[in-house]
Amino acid sequence: MSSCLLLTAALMTPTADPTPEDRAKADEAIHKYLAAEVKRLSERFMDGAKTKAEWEAKRPKLKDQFLDMLGLWPLPEKTPLKPTVTGTLVRGDVTIDKLHFQSKPGLYVTGNLYRPTHHPTNKEGHLRQLPAILYVCGHTNKGRDGNKTAFQDHGMWFASNGYICLVIDTLQLGEVAGKHHGTYNLGRFWWQDRGYTPAGVECWNGIRAIDYLVSRKDVDPDNIGVTGISGGGASTVWIAAADDRVKVAVPVSGMSDLESYVTNKVIDGHCDCMFFINTYQWEWTTALMLHAPRPLLFANSDNDTIFPMDGNRRIIERLRKGYDLLGKKENVEEYVSKGGHDYRPDLRVAIFSFLNKYLKNDTNPVKDADFPKIEGKDLRVFPEDKDLPKDQINDRVDEVFVPKAEVKLPEKKEEFKEWKARLVKKLRETSSRALPSEVPNSDINPPRVSVFKSDVGNGVNSLYPVEDRLQLQITRLSLNPKASNERLLVIMNPDEELETAAKLSEQHLGKVDSISFAWLRGCGGNRWTRKNPPNTIERSLALLGQTADTGRVRDLAALSKSERYQFPSKMFASGRAGIVAAHEAILFPGSMKELVLLDPPTSFRDGPHFLNVGRVLDLPTALGLLAPDVKLTLINAKDPAFDKTAAIYKLAEAADKFERK
């Protein structure tokens, strides 16, 4: 059976899901597209720097971009840490302080500080400053004890060998718990809109932990190391890249590359704290090069399914190339342990030896950690539930960590044009960088066409290739056989049914001679498989600086240039699809003259989703940017939020082009 016949069958029964064959084709197409994007971005290591001078010129801007992709630019205010020790244990040569600090007001970080019981002194009797280790934890669920208790042997080893070591809990598995799994299985794709990733929280908590360490009289501020495994390995990368005070970094099984994460779908094994939002479409290893040329041990295991060796090999080769370019090839080393995703004696010895070499100038052999276990409850910072802080924001930090944009309207009508231009420019730079300034039209290859009959009219179905292996589907219904001019384009939501959309358009706009329905990428017969968890495609797109809805904007822009299709100037859509259409008109002005939007969402939180859009503007403001060129009608839009849209149309002297029903 041909693909055209399969599509015809699907359209004859508009309530049906895509056939298994169509779903398989859509899955193949989107994964090939993702792999092609990975290949393109993988050529951008070090932003293309070929010399030391080029890298040094690029690095300051790249560091700002990196912080931005973590939701940390501009850097948050360093508010008082309020460090508090709630208890102390003595275990022979090691003393352990149970402490917490606030990296932001109400954002509690719980940790255990391991230090020598008999701290060495200098000739004057003052405490000698010791090198310090920030140990950041992996994903080990120890409940109320916090995951720091799972890594106590590392703290004990460091303190027994002349270090101060602070082991801090993560957000997801700490004593005062938040969430790491927003887009993995909680459906919080609005994290992408806000430019929020828990990786940013873990990085910021690490930066503030270093602030605490260097404030201590017993810590040498020029000898700070960071290490951790798994999620702690990822946090080691973030902190070492962001904070130049880190002299030595040892990420352990904590970072792979885009080819592993996206092409090979290793992203499925990881939660959101492992990733920054790749707004600037970086090659992934570039982040770790921000630590260069300071000493780095890239440590892994040879049978680790979530950090596979092919990715590790690509990364270490890039790192060696980068360090060599900077004239410090001796400062980057690799260690590979035999086994799965875990610590083993040889791996720990390699880590300890490397840190000793660069923080203490000590190359003597070391022994593995071997200490009596301390009960987790004895290491708690907050012993009982009643002791947990009432002012904590950890469980809602995703709501407040990245500031929302607060857009003020211009005071004078004469200022509107410049105000709008600034916002559109910022929207392109912050939220829509993946979109080209000019989108090629959809006439590159002729569409595949089939005809069909349905209960709502006779029609023609066309598949337009729009980008690489992706395509959009246009379903055209001729309701009046004698009509020759198309009058309306309906933008479809991913799971919306043809019959429902046709009835809604007739209900609100009356009968028209001809209607076209646009099924953009991932919609209609082009729907790819979605599983929650792990939301593979939607999460992979963010690692490439995109979202599915950004791609849909691109599809609509390509369709608007089609000479074959003859793009109509009036559009109708419900819910999220209408905001996709509005976004296209804002970023690619000229083709749309009128938009009728049914049941508009009041916030990007409800979709559609665009990276960082909440850091630029709110949804009612975005709709206002259609003024003065697009006539806008909002149906079922009584929410006061849309008063702002009305005010913007008035400022643009286009109040007659805005209507609410």
User: Residue 28 — very low, low, confident or very high, per pLDDT cuts 50/70/90?
Assistant: very high
Count how many residues are written for the chain.
661
Cis peptide before 251 (omega within 30 of 0): no
Sign of the torsion angle spanned by Cα atoms 67, 71, 74, 78: negative
3-state secondary structure of 542: helix
What pLDDT sits at residue 452?
Answer: 66
When pLDDT is averaged across residues 452-474 and rounded to a whole number, the result is 78
Q: How do strand 488-491 and strand 470-478 relate by DSSP bridges?
A: unpaired
pLDDT at 47 over 90: yes
- List pLDDT tens digits, range 341-377: 999 999 999 999 999 999 999 999 999 999 999 999 9
User: Residue 453 — very low, low, confident or very high, per pLDDT cuts 50/70/90?
Assistant: low
β-pair partners for 168: 111, 136
pLDDT at 7 over 50: no
Please tell me if the domain spanning 3-41+416-660 has the same topology as the one spanning 60-399: yes
- Domains of the chain: which residue ranges? 3-41+416-660, 60-399
Cis peptide before 608 (omega within 30 of 0): yes
- List pLDDT tens digits, range 106-116: 999 999 999 99
Cis peptide before 14 (omega within 30 of 0): no
Exposed / middle / buried, residue 82 (Cβ in 10 Å: 0-12, 13-18, 19+):
exposed
pLDDT at 302 over 60: yes
Mean pLDDT of the chain: 93
- Report the chain's terminal Cα–Cα distance, integer Å: 47
CATH number of the domain located at residue range(s) 3-41+416-660 in this protein = 3.40.50.1820
- List pLDDT tens digits, range 242-259: 999 999 999 999 999 999
Listed residue (393, 378, 379) closest to 110, CA to CA: 379
Q: Which helix (H) or strand (E) holds 462?
A: strand 457-467
Cα separation, 381 vs 199, whole angstroms: 23
- List pLDDT tens digits, range 69-86: 999 999 999 999 999 999
What pLDDT sits at residue 451?
Answer: 72
Listed residue (485, 517, 481, 472) closest to 499, CA to CA: 517
Listed residue (223, 228, 115) closest to 161, CA to CA: 115
Cis peptide before 116 (omega within 30 of 0): no
- List pLDDT tens digits, range 197-236: 999 999 999 999 999 999 999 999 999 999 999 999 999 9
CA angle 195, 197, 201 (to 5 degrees): 115
What pLDDT sits at residue 1?
Answer: 26
Q: Whole-model pTM?
A: 0.95
CA-to-CA separations, 150 to 53, 161, 206, in angstroms, rounded: 44, 20, 18
Does domain 60-399 bear CATH number 3.40.50.1820?
Answer: yes
